[in-house]
Amino acid sequence: MLPAKAQPIAETGPLSNWSQVRSLFNLEPGTVHMSAMLLASHPAPVRAAIARHRRALDADPVDYLEAHGPRLTEASREAAANYLGTHLSRVALTESTTMGVGLVYTSLQLRPDQEVLTTDEDYYVTHVSLEQAAQRTGAAVRKTALFDRPDAVSADQIVERITSSIRPETRLLALTWVHSSTGVKIPVREIAAALNEINADRGEDDHVLFGLDAVHGFGVETESFADTGADFLMAGCHKWLFGPRGTGVAAISERGLAATRPTIPSFDESEVFSAWYMRREPRGGNNGRRMTPGGFKAFEHRWALTDAFEFHDMLGRSRVASRTHELAGALKEALADIDRIDVRTPRDSALSSGIVAFAVEGMSSAEMVSRLRDRHIVASVAPYPSALVRLTPSIINSSAEIDRAARAVRDSL
Ligand SMILES: Cc1ncc(COP(=O)(O)O)c(C=O)c1O
């Protein structure tokens, strides 16, 4: 038997009040946690769901898994598909953004005469996955620069840089929705529209496919999978969505599924297992279940994903987006008024999201982050050569915390 579900959160407090939302997290009080871009603290409904599944697994792992596992896993897939506005057959469940990016890019069928295109601004995970895909297939990797200065970027400039970099042999464009180096949010819809024009003159096997590390937009921005125009959208659920740690999703378009082959045997689709058992070829084509890496999981986390999406829906997607943008905007304004602080994230909310990145004149970023920690402000240094300081306001923060963080930056100089 399934244990009773946790109480719907709407009954425990008015979610229109952000301080009530914050009270659902067991975060250390007194500290300003501007860390949603790294690793989530679990809100009460996610903690309750994990505890419920863990208790049942600890009592009888085999019975609970056999009796409820397939249904609970499909419920998580369906919740992710609903969030993304896509069909559940296009959704693979992963354990992180990194797993999704690595899996998808190394699963892509590439010819040695093809190339994959990415940018200097993309993250380690994209760059290394593409290198690994190239080593397997003989395809080339090329990088282009998206802009000269992040704080002076425009959507047109980004689209122009991309379209002028695409060559006849480009098979994949691999980008990041919101850059964790600078906080720049790229205009995904415009990029996808430009790719559609380019693809109109190409055969299907030579279409430029669009891959997106979406982790810093996922759980903040309001676009559906289709709105982004991506063929591959990979995101961890353990950052801005405040989902269970060790969970992620990859959404894949029909033509993306046709262009990839699963890498890790799936446990989510009985057809592949039956085919192996019967010693025949699997029927049907590739799909999100087949792309989901198999093996036994930290199931209590995977199954609590449903509750994380439910919590997000109860908060309201556009409310979360506007709250995050409002706080990030206020932080950028406050930081811009401080001497020696050079805010690199665009002010324009169309070109930014929740990440606020800045440089400090005459001080290393590591030193600033350490001084902020002494003042109980959790910031981080971007793991990129430019190594900017990042503060990332989210739904767990208040306006008072924005002021406190900005004051702490000033006092740390
Ligand atoms: C752009 C980007 N992609 C991927 C990751 C890694 O995410 P995950 O922990 O979900 O693998 C990070 C940072 O943690 C990131 O900044």
Protein residue whose Cα sits closest to atom 15 of ligand 1: 180
Q: What are the residue boundaries of the structural domains of the chain, listed by start?
A: 72-312, 317-411
Establish whether residue 125 lines the binding site of ligand 1, counting it when its CB lies within 6 angstroms of any ligand atom: yes
How far, CA to CA in Å, does 282 sit from each of 264, 266, 270, 272, 276?
15, 12, 10, 5, 8
Q: Where are the alpha helices (DSSP H) in 217-269?
A: 225-228, 254-259
pLDDT above 70 (res 9):
no
Distance (angstroms) between ligand 1 centre and the Cα of 302 equals: 18
Q: Is the pLDDT of residue 400 over 50?
A: yes
Confidence tier at 2 by pLDDT (50, 70, 90) = very low
Architecture of domain 317-411: Alpha-Beta Complex (3.90)
pLDDT of residue 405: 98
Q: Are 231 and 191 a contacting pair, CB within 8 Å?
A: no
> Looking at this protein, which amino acid is placed at residue 128?
V
Longest dimension (CA), the chain: 71
Which of 290, 258, 259 lies closest to 273 in space, CA to CA?
290
Give percent of the chain with pLDDT exceeding 70. Answer: 97
Nearest residue (by CA) to ligand 1, atom 13, is 38
What does the pLDDT read at residue 14? 58
Q: Tokens 């986390």 appear where?
A: 301
Q: 182: Cβ below 6 Å to ligand 1?
A: no
Q: Flag whether pLDDT at 389 surpasses 80.
A: yes
CA torsion sign for 173, 174, 178, 179 is: negative
> What CA–CA distance (Å, rounded) separates 345 from 359?
10
**Of ligand 1's atoms, which has the minimum distance to the CA of residue 235?**
10
Q: How many CB atoms lie within 10 A of CB 227?
A: 14
What's the gap in Å between 197 CA and the centre of ligand 1? 30
Mean pLDDT of 135-145: 97
Q: Using 50, 70 and 90 to split pLDDT, how confident is the model at 370?
A: very high
Average pLDDT of 150-155? 96
Question: Taking 80 as the threshold, does the pLDDT of residue 3 lie above it?
Answer: no
Ligand 1 centroid to residue 98 C-alpha, Å? 6
pLDDT at 13: 54
- CATH topology for 72-312 is Aspartate Aminotransferase; domain 2 (3.40.640)
pLDDT, one tens digit per residue, over 297-322 is 999 999 999 999 999 999 999 999 99
The rounded distance, in Å, linking the Cα atoms of 299 and 72 is 9
> From the CA of 185, how far away is ligand 1's center (Å)?
15
pLDDT in tens, 158-208: 999 999 999 999 999 999 999 999 999 999 999 999 999 999 999 999 999
Give, for ligand 1, the residue of 38, 212, 215 to mutate: max count of ligand atoms closer than 8 Å to Cβ: 215
SS3 category, 50:
helix
Q: Write the pLDDT tens digit of every residue in 235-247.
A: 999 999 999 999 9
Residue located via tokens 């890790």: 264
Quote the pLDDT of residue 11: 45
Using a 6 Å cutoff on CB, does residue 220 contact ligand 1? no
Alpha-carbon distance of 70 to 49, in angstroms, equals 17
Could you give the CA distance from residue 110 to residue 255 in angstroms, rounded to a whole number? 14
